[in-house]
Chain A
Amino acid sequence: MLKLVNVKTFYGNIQALKGVDIEVSEGEIITLIGSNGAGKTTTLMSISGITSPGSGEIFFRGRPIHNMSPDKIVSLGISQVPEGRHIFQKLTVMENLHMGAFLRTDKDSISEDIEYVFGLFPILTERRHQAGGTLSGGEQQMLAISRALMARPRLLLLDEPSLGLAPKIVKQIFGIIRKINSEQKTTIFLVEQNANLALQVAHRGYVMENGKIVLEDSSDRLLSNEAVKKAYLGL
């Protein structure tokens, strides 16, 4: 479904991605793990077209997207929940959700989808008329995921959804991620520093170091891999 071929991305003179190859199949949950600064966020931003790759190719359902503008990429069915959630602080919860559906014109099914995300995260129903900036961290993460779902993505990119959240909330959010994958058949590309958690949810995983993929395997095998255990699982 998604294929990155030898993607190299630069920030000015600094090369953040040094030839990344990743392949994601329809319906999968895959995770990209690695330490801070390894290039995980850059990988997602390259897919979304925010920082276009300097060279290499990205295909989505067979179409090259590495030269497309971010709004085109969204319209093809790729939504991202960026690191740090990036809620529109002064827009209400409802307005934030409507922004998620910005490219859609089917009014009726937009309201249906709002009901659907309120079903996933009932707390948002109570907060619907509050400004996004007044929500707690966990609620903001729920809103960020809901906003991304409002675009009805085929592929959902999640960047560090567990960051700074209480374990209870993290558990809830990861439960929802699984649910979205099984109920909506949404393919999920999960970037996490919490490798243990990520590998429990994902089917397959990639390990990234210094802008390169160094390891790729099924989650079970990565969880029992000695090197991964040592470097990322703290065992």
Chain B
Amino acid sequence: MEYFVQLFMGGLTRGSIYALIALGYTMVYGIIELINFAHGEIYMIGAFTALIIASVLTLHGFNEIAIFVLASLAAVIYSSAYGFTIEKIAYKPLRHAPRLSPLISAIGMSIFLQNYVLLAQTSDFLPFPGLIPEFGFMKKYEHISSSAELMIFLTTAVVMVILTCVIKFTKIGKAMRATAQDRKMAMLVGVDINRIISITFIIGSALAAVGGVLIASHIGQINFYIGFIVGIKAFTAAVLGGIGSIPGAVLGGFILGWTESFATGYVSSDYEDVFAFALLVLILIFRPAGLLGKSGSQKV
């Protein structure tokens, strides 16, 4: 039972990260129907930014919590700037091109960013400081979970509540939903579509950066390639839950996290991906639009 809880918590942690990143995929898809393959790289850049800032702050003798907060903040800002710029450079000029063009552009952007970080940093794994502070009260539960896992889940939960409120209650959130449902009509009521698209990229990138900082300080090492693998997994989570659906991305993230965690724990870590993708195939066979996705009918 203890082992089960341990795996459950591990899955919750992975799931939180997948969910944070999957939200970026799904929100962008919801607005411009593009799979932003460079999104995983945003997450990686967030982790690198946090590493650099944390190193500098450590040298200057800042305390643990200040480092965690400031490094995360810097990662969020830097990644958002990247997300914003990528859209302007790689996708906006292709807005009216055939749908394959921005997709290829996205893959190109992803490869470009990986290699850029590879050249600017290194191909080796870099140790990442454990930024997440240890909580005293977690000592008792050491055998089943850790402060870092708890922190990751709590941060994710808070971020999602905030995101839900923004989308549900603010004017910008309403405009985002309207744009996702009927872009031309949104333009006709005066929504500046370019602004909404930019905001979507910024929010998605900020979420990915949060995920990047959290998981990197949990695992303890990063390199230029981490964004690719996690990106593919988070994309899987988004598709699993129904691409374009925000609750779907969260649900998909957690399902994928648990599947991997239990597969690793009860079978073998070698089979983690086999189970994850077998699940994806199964779900898509029975629910082609994903768990919470809209069924295939196109609006006219």
A residues sitting closer than 8 Å to B (CB atoms) are 48-50, 69-71, 74-75, 79-80, 82, 84, 86, 88-91, 95, 98-100, 102-103, 147-148, 151
Contact = CB atoms under 8 A, between A and B. Distances in A.
A147 B189 contact: yes
B188 A88 contact: no
B95 interface: no
B184 interface: yes
Nearest to B185: A86
Given A98-B174, A102-B175, A147-B189, 14 more contacts: A71-B190, A86-B184, A86-B188, A88-B182, A89-B181, A91-B174, A91-B177, A91-B178, A99-B186, A102-B190, A103-B190, A148-B189, A151-B189, A151-B190
22 contacts: A48-B187, A50-B184, A50-B188, A70-B190, A71-B187, A75-B190, A79-B188, A79-B189, A82-B184, A86-B182, A88-B181, A88-B185, A89-B181, A89-B299, A90-B177, A91-B177, A98-B171, A98-B174, A99-B178, A99-B191, A102-B171, A102-B191
Interface residues of B, number: 18
B192 interface: yes
Contacts of A69: 192
A1 to B, nearest CB: 19
Most A CB within 10 A of own CB, among B182, B185, B187, B191:
B185
A75 B189 CA distance: 9
Nearest to B184: A50
A91 B185 CA distance: 13
A52 to B, nearest CB: 12
Contact of B185 (A75, A82, A98): A82
A164 to B, nearest CB: 12
Interface in B146-173: 171
Given A86-B184, A88-B182, A95 B190 contact: no
Nearest to A144: B185
Contacts of A88: 177-178, 181-182, 185
A7 to B, nearest CB: 18
